[in-house]
Amino acid sequence: MKVMKFGGTSVGSAERMKNVTKLISDGQRNFVVLSAMSGTTNSLIEISDYYAKGNKYGANSIINTLRTKYLKTVDDLFASEAKRKEIIEKLNGVFSELMSFSAENFSAEDAKVIVSKGEIMSTNMMALYLKEQGVKVTLLSALQFMRLNKDLQPDMAYIETHLNPLIEAHPDTQIFITQGFICTNADGLTDNLQRGGSDYTASLIGVAIHAEEIQIWTDIDGMHNNDPRFVKDTQPVPQLSFDEAAELAYFGAKILHPTCVLPAKFAGIPVKLLNTMDPQAKGTIINNHGCDGGIKAIAAKDDITAIKIVSSRMLLATGFLRKVFEIFETYGTSIDMITTSEVGVSMTIDNTTKLQEITEQLRKYGTVHIDRDMCIICVVGDLRMQNCGYESLITNALRNVPIRMISYGGSEHNISFLVHKEDKQTALQALSAQIFK
């Protein structure tokens, strides 16, 4: 079986859902993972924010807008009156539940239940539409098998032992459908895999069912060699190694959720990035096949904070870095980039919730400088030492951009630069102009 995941835009209207039906009906047994219709998760978050602020009226007004949108989609999607009635009943159940929360005692658990409803609605609509089309389809609730452990990591053993029997129980099913993004936690309560997490669902399912391939269908023809939102004339990259794809996803290439690559890598399952608007386009294949030499793509990660600690005591002091890292560990904050000199060390973080506490602790060891609103520019490819010349090509492209940090040598396929947020677009464009001309 292969896993086919469709993102928000790919199921964003009745027309797009009909298009998905064509793509999944390829005569093979497929496991389909769907996101919520585009915009829905944002609306659900707005609803829960209104409840959290005690504003039930605000929540109800967004729910009503959402209901109108869904009823219109149902009208456009279904041909038979009976199926329309059936899905409207189901959706009305969801909207009534959304209306039923209390603005006085609204909890974090309630918020997670609300945000789960987008995927529940899209999968119910698709499954019923497939039934109307005569497809042998089974809708599986992700809440029955997708589970996090106490450390909020996927509980792979639970997922495998709960998902495979569900599949075995339906030998005649042609298409299985389930929700991306949503799961339960170790206490069995509704939770999720973070924004954009449907990609992660797809790769966890791929591993659990030993899929031959994981396909991520989206609105662009694969991983482009630079961020198409900031650079013109970017091109799709035909092949990436798992490590290259992981670096790009982690450093801002939105097409792929960063967590999605590792499970597929360890299970050796190829991941394809494909375009629902242009299914014939080759897209990108991510696999273990090596590909020699050259820069493949550039990505950028926003909202980075740089922390520099300068200490005369660092000179020749063993254990200094350990003490610094322990502070970050204590406050559960991971470091992305790091550069050192004999008297100081610079690090970057993207989660600043504990910045104040971290800064106070670091001050025990030296003078601390903070730079906010920074951006990591990450150049990815086969940058092994024998392929010399790529570093100078890259730094030359960035000769007019002020650079705060450079990191090279942490792996053989990444060179990263820290620049100010306002220089991001110039940096991305300059790199594309120099490297992919």
Name the β-bridge partners of 371. Answer: 306
CA atoms within 13 A on the CB side of 372: 3
* Residue from 155, 83, 157, 70 nearest 120 by CA: 70
For 282, list phi and psi in degrees, rounded to 5.
Answer: -65, -30
Q: Are 47 and 114 in contact (CB under 8 A)?
A: yes
Contact positions with ligand ASP (CB under 6 A) in 20-49: 35-36, 41
- Which residue number is nearest to ligand ADP in terms of Cβ? 7
Report if residue 258 touches ligand ADP, rule: CB under 6 A. no
Stretch of 13-21, 52-60, 193-201, 314-322 contacting Mg ion, by CB under 5 A: 193-201
Report if residue 270 touches ligand ADP, rule: CB under 6 A. no
Report if residue 206 touches ligand ASP, rule: CB under 6 A. no
Collapsed DSSP state (helix, strand, coil) of residue 183: strand
Contact positions with ligand ADP (CB under 6 A) in 5-24: 7-10
* Residue from 255, 210, 251, 215 nearest 236 by CA: 255
Q: Which does 154 bind (CB under 5 to 8 A by kind): ligand ASP, Mg ion, ligand ADP, none?
A: none
Q: Which does 229 bind (CB under 5 to 8 A by kind): ligand ADP, ligand ASP, Mg ion, none?
A: ligand ADP
Helices (H), 133-197: 156-168
* Residue from 209, 212, 138 nearest 177 by CA: 138
Nearer of residues 40 and 333 to ligand ADP, judged by Cβ: 40
Crossing angle of helices 117-132 and 14-24, in 10° steps, is 60
Size of the site for ligand ADP (CB under 6 A): 18
CB of 63 to ligand ASP, least distance (A): 17
* Residue from 324, 416, 412 nearest 361 by CA: 324
Q: How far apart are CA 283 and CA 90, in angstroms?
A: 36
Report if residue 196 touches Mg ion, rule: CB under 5 A. yes
Q: Which of 43, 116, 198, 259 binds ligand ASP (CB under 6 A)?
A: 198
Q: How far apart are CA 37 and CA 10, in angstroms?
A: 8
Nearer of residues 36 and 306 to ligand ASP, judged by Cβ: 36
Q: Which of 97, 219, 350, 371 binds ligand ADP (CB under 6 A)?
A: 219
Report if residue 227 touches ligand ADP, rule: CB under 6 A. yes
Contact positions with Mg ion (CB under 5 A) in 322-341: none
Q: Would you call 36 exposed, middle or buried from its count of C-beta atoms within 10 A (0-12, 13-18, 19+)?
A: buried
Report if residue 217 touches ligand ASP, rule: CB under 6 A. no
Q: How far apart are CA 296 and CA 275, in angstroms?
A: 20
Report if residue 224 touches ligand ADP, rule: CB under 6 A. yes
CA atoms within 13 A on the CB side of 96: 6
Q: Which of 94, 220, 380, 405 binds ligand ADP (CB under 6 A)?
A: 220
Report if residue 195 touches ligand ASP, rule: CB under 6 A. yes
Which residues contact ligand ASP by CB under 6 A? 7-8, 35-36, 41, 118, 180-181, 195-198
Which residue ranges make up the site for Mg ion (CB under 5 A)? Answer: 7, 196
Which residues contact ligand ADP by CB under 6 A?
7-10, 35, 196, 218-220, 223-224, 227-229, 253-255, 299
